[in-house]
Every structure is written in structure tokens, then in C-alpha cells.
Amino acid sequence: MFGLDTLGKAVGQLVNGFETNVRQGQQQMEKLLGDNGVLDAATLSTITEMSDAYRTMAEDLLLHPLRFAGAELDLARKHAALGYYTLARLVGKDKQPVVEPEPDDRRFQAEDWHKHLTFDVLHQAYLINSRAFLNWAAGMEGIPPAGRDQMLFYARHLTSALSPSNFPATNPEVLRITWERKGMNLIDGGRQLIEDLRQNPSLFNVGMTDRSAFEVGRNLATTPGKVVFQNELMQLIQYSPTTETVSKRPLLIVPPWINKYYILDLTARNSFIKWLVNQGQTVFIISWRNPGPSLRDKGWEDYMELGPLAAMDAVTEATSEEQMNLIGYCIGGTLLGSTLAWLKKKGRNPVASATYLTTLLDFSDPGGIGVFINDHSIRGIEKMLERKGYLDGRAMAFTFNLLRENELFWSFWTNNYLKGQKPAAFDLLYWNTDGTNLPARMHSFYLRQMYLNNRLVQPDSLSLLGESINLSEIEVPSFFLSARQDHIAKWKTTYKGALAHGGDVRFVLSGSGHIAGVINPPYKEKYGYWTNDTLVPDADTWFEQSEHHPGSWWPHWLEWIARFSDGDVPARIPGEGKLPAIENAPGSYVKVKAAEAVKQ
């Protein structure tokens, strides 16, 4: 016993000394590479954290050899079972596979993986090894939750990258297609790779859709309207009515500026904006500018002042209405909450109702993106922001894609570059690749004050435009729509934000995720939604007591918003009020690409 204890202490001291030397070496390497501009600070911090995660796993091997031995024993049993499975197939016997992919794992669905014994055994061995590795990493002791999530994120990415489906020599589908096409698939794939590299200079993103199939204003964002106001951060679009009368109170939408507004106005059948117009709403929407280095000093307060506050004044001028209904989507909803709390402190009441779509107000559990939220990572991002003046929207898109890497990266890698298939024309994926940049000052504030320090829900912790804000003081009736499978704004965390919000609060949970849970037109009759008019402290209890409804949440919301319409008036024509039309919708701001904005 004494010998084992002494050995354990010696190993612990060895590990601690090794860790100290490694950290010192990392700091020197970061300084050397960063100061010489070889890699930007954000990339360096990511590489450092990745190496930290893998080093932690290696240390666990030294400190807990018995646990690792137990995992190895279990792994050996499964490989023995795979050996028996292999022998059974060799002699022509049917036998149940030792392991099968998860139902949503499409990497090994093709018949080629099961028809040929070599590849059948290969993909099963990969699944056995990868699951054993991830289970072992998940069982590591003494790691705080944030560190564990980060470690599991990098462990998952390592196993995903090593999948046999990602390499031509170990993917039977690719080998068959290469034989059938005499290698032309690899040549076509190489051409696509070169084109994707050309489309994204210095920032590689895998091609996800046929870019030539879409054009904003031609077959996307086609709902008729006019730009009636603009400033250096946004254009305000007013849509043309399709009904003889409209609700007296206009509707203003504050979309996210991490992506472009036309997620709400894709093809006509899926357009939330067109549906709203057809329901007799006078719809206005903010179209954010795609910023470059010249807007580096625009902060959260500027987005509030030049965004919803300026837009509300413009809507009032265009319609002569002092009050309106507002919708905020994602970070647009976070800005909406900030604005309503500020308006309350100022004693102003221009908002009759507020709708929050998949919005974080409480950031205590930021979802998958939380693996990048720590002081070290943010300092690295801030150094990069200071140097460039903006965060490239393509980098942001790539980061979000990594949260579902097999679906949003490796599947396209295999189809595009190994099989030589052109990506399909898909409007949602086109929008997903049409990113926007983020100004340095705003993004630093957002990461630190919201994600890292969670100050928005702390009463009077944040000051904006000279006023401390408190969400609980808001008296505006609000409707929170969250999505059950949302990995960006987790629904239980958005529920906490609803609890922190003052006034009469309605919470509704949609099926599906961050996009499909919101963009769910009634004709599809998909996903369904849950309602419970009583907010209780615990989200799980709210869900257990909720009622499920089939179809889209849109008509349910329309019934709620009708309470704040204040009657009907003759339809309003954009440009015929006090605000003249500047140009046709969708305007010019939305057409600027992230790479083009950098040059402005």
C-alpha cells in the first residue's frame, strides 16, 4: 500500500512538473507565432486549448492506470466479439453486427459498407474504438463542467476526423465510384476544392450548396417592398401590403446580424415575412450592414441606437403610430431585451408587445458554442479583433458548423471532394454560407459581458447609453419561442431568460432546431409545438405540464399578437408616407458579401 501511494505521489509530481513546462512552452510559442503574424491570436488560443485537452487525457492515463485498464479490457471484449462476427461471415453465417451507427449517423448507410466484409469490419471497429475513447474521456474525474465539455468537444472532433468515411482508400463508396468513373470523381472533386479555396481566400469553408443557383433579390428575399430609411449600420425595409386593411400597429423585426435577415424571407412558400404580410401586418425589418474594418469601433450601444431605436422612430414617422409590436430573432432578440430595459429606464413606451425567437437573455448555458467561451479564448479573439478590426463572418459560420461536424462539414467533404458530386441547390445552406462580419468592439462586448460574465440578467449590472438596465423591470407583454433541438440557444436556457423578463410572459416550445423550429410554415404540418401558459421555476416541470399541438406555431402566435393590433386601418403603401422610398427591397446592404465588406 505504501509503495502504491509513494508511486502515485511520484507520478503526480512528474505530471505537475510536465504540465508547468508545457504551459511555459505554450506561452512562448504563442508569443513567437503571434508576434510574427504566423497565426492570428484566436487560432493560437484554439490550438493551445486543443493541445491542453489532449494533454489532460494523457495525464489521466498516468494518474488512473486501473481505470484505463478497465476500459481497455472492455474494448478487448468487443473486439473479440467482432472477431467472432468476422469468422461467422467468412463461413457464410448470418450474425447480428457487434455495433451499429446511431440512427442519425449517415456516414455508413450505403450498402457498400455492409456488403463487403472488409469494410463491414472496418467501420464496426471504428465505431467500437471511437465510442470507447469518448466514453473513457467522459468518465475522467476531477474536471470542471466547462473543461469537460471542451475536452469532449475536441475528443469528438478527433474521432470524427479519423472516420474511414473521410478517406478515399477506406471508403468503399468512393472506391466504387472511382472505379466506375475511372478516377474522374477525384479530378472533379479537386476542381471543386480549388474553387472553394478561391471563394474563401485565407479562410476555407467547405462548399455546402450550388452558389450559382441563388441570388438575393432574384429567387431569395423577393417579398416586394421598399427601403424607406437607412444609416451607417442598417437599412429599414417596409413591405408592400397584400390586403386592403392592415393592423393599426405596425410590426418591426430585429433580425440577427451574425447572419443576414433573409432567413425570414427565403423562397416565397417558406417566407415568414410574406406570411405576415398576407395576414394583414404592416411589416418593417432591419437589414444590417455587413461591416468591415471602418466600423471597428461600433459597439452594442451603437447597434441599439442605430438599430431598433432608430428604426422605431422611422416606423413612427412612416405610419404616424406611436406604438408598435416588435420581434427579435437570436442575437436580435438579445438586443431587443436590452433596448426594452433601456426604454423602461428612460420612461418611454413605444412597444406594445415583444416576441423573442430562439433568444438567449440568460447565458448561463450557452450551448455548444460554450466550448470556446473562456477567458483565454476570448483574449485570443480580442487580440485578433484589435489587429483586424472585425471578426470575419466566414470564420463564425465555420465555428457554428463545427458544432455538428459530421453533418455540416465531413459529409460535404466526402460528397464534394471524394465522390466528385456537386452540392445540391438548397436555399437554407446558401443563406448559411452568406455570412456577415462583426465589428471588433461589439463582438468583444458580446462575448465578455453576455457569454462569459452573463451580465444581462444581473439587475443593473450593464449600463447602455448612460442607463443601467434591468430585464425584470420590463412591463411589455412578451412571447418567447424556443426550439427543442436548438444547439445554439438551448431551450432550457432561453426559459431562464423568460423567467428573468418582467411583464406578462408567454413561453412556447417548437419542435426541431434553431432555424427549422422558427421557419416552419403552416402548410408543412411539421414538428408541432408545446404550450403552457403558467411559467414555473423549473423548465422540465413546465414541459411535463405542457400541451402538445400539431403543426406550426405561426397561427398560435398570430392569435396572441392580435391582442395588440389596436384594430385595422387602410393598407399602407411603402414610400407614400413621410418617409420616401430609397430603393426596392431587398436593398443594397444585404447584397454585400463578407469578403467584399472587408475592402470597403
Concatenating the DSSP letter of every residue in 168-188 gives: GGG-HHHHHHHHHTTTHHHHH
Mean pLDDT across 324-333: 98
pLDDT at 308 over 80: yes
- Encoded amino acid at 558, one letter: L
3-state secondary structure of 542: helix
Of the given ranges (57-61, 113-117, 154-158, 463-467), which has the lowest mean pLDDT? 57-61
330 classed as catalytic:
yes
Higher pLDDT, 141 or 529: 529
pLDDT at 369 over 50: yes
pLDDT at 51 over 90: no
**How does pLDDT run across 66-96, given as a tens digit for each residue?**
555 666 788 889 999 999 999 999 988 888 9
Catalytic residue from among 254, 306, 330, 498? 330
Residue spans of alpha helices (H) in 104-171: 112-115, 117-138, 145-161
Of the given ranges (417-421, 507-511, 581-585, 592-596), which has the lowest mean pLDDT? 592-596
Cβ proximity of 342 and 464 under 8 Å: yes
Q: Determine how β-strand 478-483 pairs with β-strand 505-510.
A: parallel
Cβ proximity of 530 and 493 under 8 Å: no
Higher pLDDT, 382 or 355: 355
308: cis peptide before it, omega within 30°?
A: no
pTM score: 0.86
pLDDT at 571 over 60: yes
Mean pLDDT across 330-341: 98
Mean pLDDT across 379-396: 87
The pLDDT assigned to 149 comes to: 78
d(C-alpha 89, C-alpha 538), whole Å: 52
pLDDT at 593 over 80: yes
Average pLDDT value for the chain: 88
Mean pLDDT across 409-417: 94
The pLDDT assigned to 33 comes to: 43
pLDDT at 31 over 60: no
pLDDT tier, 57 (very low <50, low <70, confident <90, very high otherwise): low
